Structure 1
Amino acid sequence: MQRLLAFFAVSLVLSGAAVVSAQTAHNSAAPINFSADHIELQDKANRALLSGSVSVKQAEMTLNAARMTVAYTGQVVDGSPQVSRLDAAGNVVVTRPDQTARSNFAVYDLNKRVVTMLGAVTLIQAGNTVNGGRLTINLDTGRAVIDGSSVGGGGGGKAGTTTSSGGRVSGTFSVPKRN
């Protein structure tokens, strides 16, 4: 019950947004490890293009997508370029402890320590599901805000979930068994 309340210290406001909290702070200074089928380095543009089953891992967070653009500052510290932003597209999945989010697109701004997911967003935690158009996760506070703004249609449409339509947030809350 406490976990349900922590997850859904949800505040539904008139704008159709849900606020979710319960994650611990993310270590955005941790190294970023990646794998992909293909990489194209564009040094003059300070970016790398990754494609084909892209997987990026930083600390306890994993970001998977079909394609990803990695922007870096041009500065090299301890032999590694300083990554400032990741743009992901195609079947995007962000996994954190006890939390999985899916969408069509995502942007991870390392300087702001914020992940923004767009289009057919589904957030699952502790058996609860929330769907919307945009999800913003503050990695310092663990606060997630979902709103109904629509990019690419409604939620995942999987069994047991309710899809978002008309710019609204929707979902399913699990109810603990009672004796």
Structure 2
Amino acid sequence: MTALLLASPAPILAQGTNVTFGTIQQDTTLPVEVTADNLSVDQSSGTAVFTGNVLIGQGDMRLSAARVLVTYRSQNAGIAKLQATGGVTLVTGADAAEAERADYNIDSGEIEMTGNVLLTQGQSALTAEKMFVNLRTGTARMSGRVKTILQTGNN
């Protein structure tokens, strides 16, 4: 997909854009399933660190990364947020996004992806510095030198 973006003679550059993300709205109250090679828990800080081939699933959403820091609410009241780093990939429906980092706030249902964000939707691709995904509404906002190729239908 990156080659598609680089090969076009007339890319579209913008400072921010709104796009749809995923084919359905995500229920952010569903349980979060985590699979990883390693786990380290710190009871005093209320955190857990998953490393090595981390795969997170919640409903139809899948997130993979090299490392995920899970922060729990006080008194074992569930997960408050996830911080994924290292080759982050987020997939929901037919849409996929890649970035260097993703911060997922469970309560708001929002994910902020930063660092060389690449969003692919079918044959379309967009790049940006940041992408904010609202899983509850199935929408996303991209900012920071947004770039895409718009097909004219004549190709």
Q: Name the TM-score class by shorter chain.
A: 0.7 to 0.9
Structure 2 unaligned spans of 5+? 1-11
Secondary structure of the 1:28 match is: coil
4+ long deviations beyond 2 Å: 172-178
Q: Distance in 1 between matches of 2:31 and 2:154?
A: 41
Query: Corresponding residue for 2:19?
Result: 20
Q: Distance in 2 between matches of 1:174 and 1:53?
A: 36
Give 2:121's aligned amino acid. Answer: Q
Q: Does 1:137 align with 2:128?
A: no
Q: Which has the higher contact order (CA 8 A, sep 6+)?
A: 2
Give 1:33's aligned amino acid. Answer: E
Query: Corresponding residue for 1:40?
Result: 40
Matches within 5 A, 1:147-162: 147-148=143-144
User: What's the offset of the Cα at 1:172?
Assistant: 2.4
Q: Does 1:59 align with 2:55?
A: no
Query: Corresponding residue for 1:114?
Result: 110
Secondary structure of the 1:75 match is: helix
- C-alpha spacing 1:53/1:71, structure 2 compared with 1 (3 Å): same
Secondary structure of the 2:107 match is: coil
TM-score (norm 1): 0.74
Provide, for residues 49-69 of structure 1, a one-character-per-residue CA deviation record: whole Å limited to 9, x for no partner.
Answer: 011111110000011000010
Query: Corresponding residue for 1:86?
Result: 82
User: What's the offset of the Cα at 1:175?
Assistant: 5.3
User: What's the offset of the Cα at 1:31?
Assistant: 0.9
Query: Corresponding residue for 2:148?
Result: 171
Q: Distance in 2 between matches of 1:44 and 1:101?
A: 34
Q: Is the 8 A contact 1:120 1:132 kept in 2?
A: yes
Q: Distance in 1 between matches of 2:64 and 2:117?
A: 14
Q: Is the 8 A contact 2:13 2:146 kept in 1?
A: no
Provide, for residues 64-116 of structure 1, a one-character-per-residue CA deviation record: whole Å limited to 9, x for no partner.
Answer: 0000100111334xxxx500100000000000001000000000000111011
Structure 1 unaligned spans of 5+? 1-11, 149-167
The number of residue pairs the alignment matches comes to 143
Larger fraction in strand = 2
Q: Is the 8 A contact 1:67 1:88 kept in 2?
A: yes
TM-score (norm 2): 0.85
Give 2:18's aligned amino acid. Answer: V
**Percent of pairs identical after alignment?**
25
Q: Distance in 2 between matches of 1:103 and 1:19?
A: 18
